Amino acid sequence: MTQRDASSPAPDADQFAPEQLRELLDIAVTLATEAGDLVAARRKEGVAVADTKSSSVDIVTASDRESEAHIRRRLEELRPGDGFFGEESDATASETGLTWVVDPIDGTVNYLYGYPNYSVSVAVVLGNPGSEPSSFTALASAVVNPEGRESFTAMRGQGSWCNGERLHVDAAPPLELALVGTGFSYSAERRVQQAEQWTTLASRVRDLRRVGAASLDLCNIAINRLDAYYESGLNPWDHAGAALVAREAGAIVVGEAMGREGRRLIIAAKPGLEVELADLVTVLPGVGL
């Protein structure tokens, strides 16, 4: 899509032809792969904490910043006029209606400690990802796990894949046999609340998994490694790309009161489980306000 005049109507997600989505996806895959190779190489050289954000355990590494800078620089070359919304740098407004939502390393603590569960997520969305959840629609995305050598990709209305193999979620098991994923906050107080919430689920599901990277949790539903996932407090870069992967594989992705997913809550599940899980999961106090 080329730069549009400010007086012209904004594009509609349904107006994008498959070949246009493919062009966007190819860019997402290229950049996520390049950044994944970069951060994996830096991991072998050694990683140290460069800064902290919301708390002493909410860390940033030099690799986070280098990865995002690389993706941002490449997008300026490939897609001038598109917006940018990433975790580690200031947002740029879109002149085309499209914005690239980037998590340069999802699972930074895993990355620091050498756990292989981290990813680079690149999604292109229509609308404003910095506003309400319903204000943007993901069109194409790539979530690359360099250590696992897995590349999850998706296009709106066209499906999702892992390393080129089409993904389809299996039929949902009964809730008591469901393997459920979740994540925990960098805030110690909120982690306690999340642990208390887990106690309400402990006797109702098969077990809980904590991967440490929301993007991989969502992709794990698409590839049938999890049956359901929930979390409060995510930012758009945490889920924009991977939620599309899950949706296009047939999972149901919802938020508070079964609306759109967002900062307050995201639930992703094999069809049917989302309703039962929503009855057990509540939005934590103060999240997304």
The Cα–Cα gap between 256 and 41 comes to 39
The Cα–Cα gap between 217 and 275 comes to 19
Contacts 24+ apart (CB under 8 A), 195-203: 197/281, 197/282, 197/284, 200/280, 201/280, 201/281
Active site residue 27: no
Query: In whole angstroms, how far apart are CA 224 and each of 85, 204, 247, 269?
Result: 29, 20, 13, 10
Active site residue 106: yes
Task: Exactly one of 64, 68, 87, 274 is catalytic; name it.
Answer: 87
Task: Exactly one of 64, 103, 147, 274 is catalytic; name it.
Answer: 103
Fill in the DSSP letter of residue 92: B
Active site residue 37: no
The Cα–Cα gap between 176 and 199 comes to 14
Exposure of 180 by Cβ count < 10 A (0-12 exposed, 13-18 middle, 19+ buried)? buried
Fill in the DSSP letter of residue 172: P
Active site residue 64: no
Task: Exactly one of 108, 248, 256, 266 is catalytic; name it.
Answer: 108
Task: Exactly one of 66, 88, 238, 274 is catalytic; name it.
Answer: 238
The Cα–Cα gap between 271 and 231 comes to 18
Query: What is the distance of C-alpha 117 from the center of its chain?
Result: 14
Active site residue 59: no
The Cα–Cα gap between 267 and 258 comes to 9
Active site residue 105: yes
Query: In whole angstroms, how far apart are CA 253 and each of 1, 108, 166?
Result: 28, 24, 19
Catalytic residues: 87, 103, 105-106, 108, 238
